[in-house]
Each structure stands twice: as C-alpha cells, then as structure tokens.
C-alpha cells in the first residue's frame, strides 16, 4: 500500500466499509490526486466526506421511500450522488451532512430556530447555482450529546421566543432542496439569514479560501422526511 492508501484504509475501517469495489475506487482517487493527508486537513476531510456519502447511499435503500440514492463513482469532484426514482429517472444531486443546530437569541422574520435550522456555505450555493445542479440533499443528523448542540438546549431554554412550543431531541431528517429555489432565496435575501463564522472558529478542513459566510434557513420550506429511526449513535 502507498502511504495515501494506508490512511484511506484507516478511514474505511473507521466507517466499517467492507466492499472491495468501494475500497478500490477510494484508493485510486487518493493516488490519482496525490493526496498528502498528513499535511492537508482539507484533503483528509474530502476523502472522509466521500466515504460518508457512500454510506448514506447504501443506507437510503433501507429508508422505505419511493426513491433512494446511488453513489457517483464517476469522479471524486463530480456531483456527489444520484436521486433515483425509477430505472430511467436519475437526478444528479450534491450531499451535505449537517450535525449542528443553532438557536437565535431573538425572534427573526423567518421563524428560523433550533428545531428547523439548516445551513449551507454561501460559496457552495453559488457554485451549485453556476453549475445548474438540480438538487442538494441535506442529511440533518442532530445528536444533543455533541458539545455544540448541548449548548443549544441551554440557549433554547433561556431564549424561548418561538410561538410554537416544541422539545428538542435527537433527530435525523432528509431535506431535498431544489437548487433553483436556494439561488432565488440567496439572490433576493428572502427566507435566509446570513451568518459569518469568525476566522478563529473556522475548521482547517474548509480551506484558507473560505470566507466564513453561510446562509441559514428553515428546513420547513422544503420536502423533508423524518428518518430518526435510522439515526446511529456512536
């Protein structure tokens, strides 16, 4: 094994990936792009993200929906996967795993709160708009044992401004977002709140070019499916 393959193998073992074809493709991508995982957090995160996408696609066949997702083996930097509705109806989509939620300390005109909070990087939305990608799927997987989320429980209790009363608990939802609608929301600054992550709080894996700007919105604007029964605890 090359050094890159050894590190990819550790990631595959971490996520319990056994499929030989999947392993072969991930090894080939690591070598093709000459990844240096030890020196570049962004490259390691990119590879692990592809593995997470692959696992999601396999899981989706157990969701009992009228569609599922197929991983895109064609290239590491192509669209992430396909939404498959039938044999001849495959729609290209990108995938975002969201593990954090947030509770604003005061009301906002769009009623965005910890129970419906979704976010995407502004530069990612811009690229999807430019590429004319049809859909992005958000896998909103919220575990309140995580440090960031546990603080949200305190904030919601302290700043309990929402008209509808709800309890926060671990949950997982699939949100199917038409990219055209996201582009329109961004352009018109409608139904979105702009957030800027302070430089010191940005992850190294996001790369030096990331300006910290994200857009948040309510997942209630989009087709959403509760798949909490498929949430896995680590």
Q: Are 134 and 207 found together in one domain? A: yes
Contacts 24+ apart (CB under 8 A), 11-20: 11/44, 11/47, 11/48, 11/51, 12/51, 15/48, 15/51, 15/52, 15/55, 17/51, 17/54, 17/55
Domain assignment present for 157:
yes
Look up the domain containing 46 and give its range. Answer: 1-74
Q: Are 224 and 109 found together in one domain? A: yes
Per-residue pLDDT of 138-187, as tens digits, reads: 999 999 999 999 999 999 999 999 988 899 999 999 999 999 999 999 99
Domain assignment present for 137:
yes
- For 139, the token pair is 């896998």
Q: Are 68 and 107 found together in one domain? A: no
Domain assignment present for 93:
no
- For the whole model, what pTM was predicted? 0.92
Q: Are 134 and 213 found together in one domain? A: yes
Q: Are 109 and 65 found together in one domain? A: no
Domain tally, the chain: 2
Q: Are 111 and 178 found together in one domain? A: yes
Per-residue pLDDT of 77-116, as tens digits, reads: 999 999 999 999 999 999 999 999 999 999 999 999 999 9
Q: Are 227 and 116 found together in one domain? A: yes
């Amino acid at each position: 094994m090359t050094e890159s393959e050894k590190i990819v193998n550790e990631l595959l073992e971490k996520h319990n990936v056994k499929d030989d074809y999947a392993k072969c493709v991930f090894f080939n991508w690591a070598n093709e792009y000459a990844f240096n995982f030890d020196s570049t957090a962004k490259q390691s995160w990119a590879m692990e993200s592809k593995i997470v996408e692959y696992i999601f696609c396999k899981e989706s066949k157990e969701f009992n929906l009228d569609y599922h997702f197929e991983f895109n083996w064609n290239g590491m930097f192509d669209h992430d996967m396909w939404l498959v509705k039938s044999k001849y109806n495959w729609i290209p989509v990108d995938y975002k795993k969201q593990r954090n939620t947030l509770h604003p300390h005061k009301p906002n005109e769009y009623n965005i709160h910890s129970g419906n909070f979704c976010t995407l990087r502004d530069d990612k939305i811009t690229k999807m708009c430019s590429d004319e990608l049809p859909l992005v799927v958000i896998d909103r997987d919220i575990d309140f044992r995580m440090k960031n989320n546990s603080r949200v429980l305190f904030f919601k209790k302290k700043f309990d401004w929402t008209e509808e009363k709800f309890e926060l608990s671990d949950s997982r939802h699939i949100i199917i977002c038409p990219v055209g609608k996201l582009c329109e929301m961004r352009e018109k600054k409608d139904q979105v709140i702009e957030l800027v992550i302070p430089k010191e709080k940005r992850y190294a894996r996001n790369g030096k070019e990331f300006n910290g700007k994200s857009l948040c919105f309510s997942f209630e604007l989009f087709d959403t499916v509760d798949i909490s029964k498929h949430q896995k605890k680590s």
